[in-house]
Amino acid sequence: MKRTLSFLLALIIALSAFSMAAFAADAPKSKTEALFDKLYTATELQVTFTPDKKLVGNLPITTLTLYAKGKDLAIDTKLKFFPVRLVKTGDACYAYSPLLPFAYLSIDSKVIDGIIGDKDIWEYVHKTVDSARLLLAYVKSYDEKIGDETYLVEEFNDREHVTTKFYYKGDMLKRVSVYNESDKTTQVFAIDNYSFTVAPRIFKAPFGIDLTKLLKLFGVIKGLPIA
């Protein structure tokens, strides 16, 4: 569970990396810069993406959906074929399956607070964006075909070893590729969709039976900090 929460933070950092560009004052605003400006002023965010396999390791995770609205956070994923949702709203934190909303686990919210600290999540994003803004510079834009799809690519580098490419279909970011020349590695994030509005129902507390203490009593789950 802690590793899943760590991944949630990693996604926030990855999203903040959209700001990592330095643009000339008189240069036209790129799609990445415009998206970045939107992210910086957002108070709601919903994004569905497929992480690079190197990032998730052995976790049975494929596609994830991150939700952030004010101070509330949620993440949807599938463990193999079983959908799971983790929600932090106020001081409460829950894990359950949308297929079985009548049974859930309660988790101590300090599990998340211990990872992201005492900052508001948007404050953390803003600080990361401001710090990252100086790292990468715009290089060029061009079309690139992958399979049957042709994307507009905006390319940036850090003036040393790292090249970051943002792939667009229309105005929608669909893919981010980060290549490190020093170790010859590439990380790719495939983005299914995103928006800057989130339905309030996503953060509603599950109803029904809290199974946490019962499952710990029978040894089904171990080491989970319960609320």
Confidence check: pLDDT of 164 > 50: yes
pLDDT at residue 150, as a whole number: 97
pLDDT at 145 over 90: yes
Question: pTM of the full predicted structure?
Answer: 0.74
Evaluate if residue 128 carries a pLDDT over 90. no
Mean pLDDT (the chain) is 77
Residues of the chain above pLDDT 90, percent? 27
Element (H, E) at 47: strand 44-50
pLDDT in tens, 37-54: 888 899 999 999 987 766
Question: What per-residue confidence (pLDDT) applies to 86?
Answer: 86
Question: At a CB cut-off of 8 Å and minimum separation 6, what does 148 contact?
Answer: none
Q: What percent of the chain has pLDDT over 70?
A: 70
pLDDT reported for residue 109: 64
User: 24 with 33: CB under 8 angstroms?
Assistant: no
Residue 146, amino acid: I
For the chain, the residue count is 227
Residues in CB range of 160: below 8 A, 6 or more apart: none
**Joined tokens for residue 114:** 């211990």
Tokens of 161: 């070893």
**Angle ∠(201,206,212) on CA atoms, nearest 5:** 150
Q: Indicate the helix (H) or strand (E) that contains 157.
A: strand 149-157
Provide the pLDDT for residue 146. 94
Distance (Å, whole) CA 109 – CA 23? 40
Q: Per residue in 14-25, pLDDT tens?
A: 554 444 434 434
Measured distance CA(82)–CA(156) in Å, rounded: 38
For residue 48, the one-letter residue type is T
110 pLDDT exceeds 80? no
Q: Is residue 168's pLDDT more than 90?
A: yes
Query: What pLDDT is attached to residue 199?
Result: 93
| Token pair listed for 201 | 């129902």
What is the phi-psi region of residue 29: left when phi exceeds 0, alpha when psi lies from -120 to 50, beta otherwise?
Answer: beta
Burial 117-145 (b: 16+ CB within 10 A, else e): eeeebbebbbebbeebbebbebeeeeeee
